[in-house]
Each structure stands twice: as structure tokens, then as C-alpha cells.
């Protein structure tokens, strides 16, 4: 359930350019509060994501933005 990381599009593109993640992957969407372009990835895609979520969250990741409210 808590296995997702959300990045700004610019950060995702930088990681793609540097070969850290495969290009044109992830779920692209606009952030609900500011309308900012974002990309969501499963934390297992990249070791960097796993390390970051282990440090930033209690559950080693976030809930997916695609999870419906009340589900």
C-alpha cells in the first residue's frame, strides 16, 4: 500500500537523463494543490527511491495518488 514515491517532473527527467531510471516510465499527473507536473514511481524501481522513502516516511513509501478517496 505505501510503496510509492512522487517526484517533480523536473527531478524525474534529471534521473532519466542520468540513467538512474528508465525513460518514459512512471505515472504522470498534475499535483492537486498547485497544478505542478509530477511523476509517481514504485519505490522498487530504483535503490535511491527506497533509501529516500526509508528516511522520509514511516512506512517506506507513500500511498499512490491513484488510490481513490475512502478506499
Q: Within 10 A of 13 (CB to CB), how many other CB atoms are there?
A: 15
In a domain, residue 64? The reply is: no
pLDDT of residue 1: 61
Place of cell 510503496: 3
Closest CA to 56 of 21, 4, 1: 4
pLDDT of residue 71: 63
Specify which residues 27 forms β-bridges with: 40
In a domain, residue 49? The reply is: yes
Q: Within 10 A of 67 (CB to CB), how many other CB atoms are there?
A: 11
In a domain, residue 16? The reply is: yes
The x, y and z cell numbers of residue 4, run together, are: 510509492
In a domain, residue 9? The reply is: yes
pLDDT of residue 6: 93
In a domain, residue 62? The reply is: no
In a domain, residue 41? The reply is: yes
Question: Which range of residues forms the domain containing residue 13?
Answer: 4-56
Quick one: residue 36, left, alpha or beta (phi over 0 = left, psi -120 to 50 = alpha)?
Answer: beta
pLDDT of residue 22: 92
Q: 35-68: per-residue pLDDT in tens? A: 899 999 999 888 888 888 888 888 788 888 888 7
Q: How many domains does the chain have?
A: 1
Amino acid at each position: 500500500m505505501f510503496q510509492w514515491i512522487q517526484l517533480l517532473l523536473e527531478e524525474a527527467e534529471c534521473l532519466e537523463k542520468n540513467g538512474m531510471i528508465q525513460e518514459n516510465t512512471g505515472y504522470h499527473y498534475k499535483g492537486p494543490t498547485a497544478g505542478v507536473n509530477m511523476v509517481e514511481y514504485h519505490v522498487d524501481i530504483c535503490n535511491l527511491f527506497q533509501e529516500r522513502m526509508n528516511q522520509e516516511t514511516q512506512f517506506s513509501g507513500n500511498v499512490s495518488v491513484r488510490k481513490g478517496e475512502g478506499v
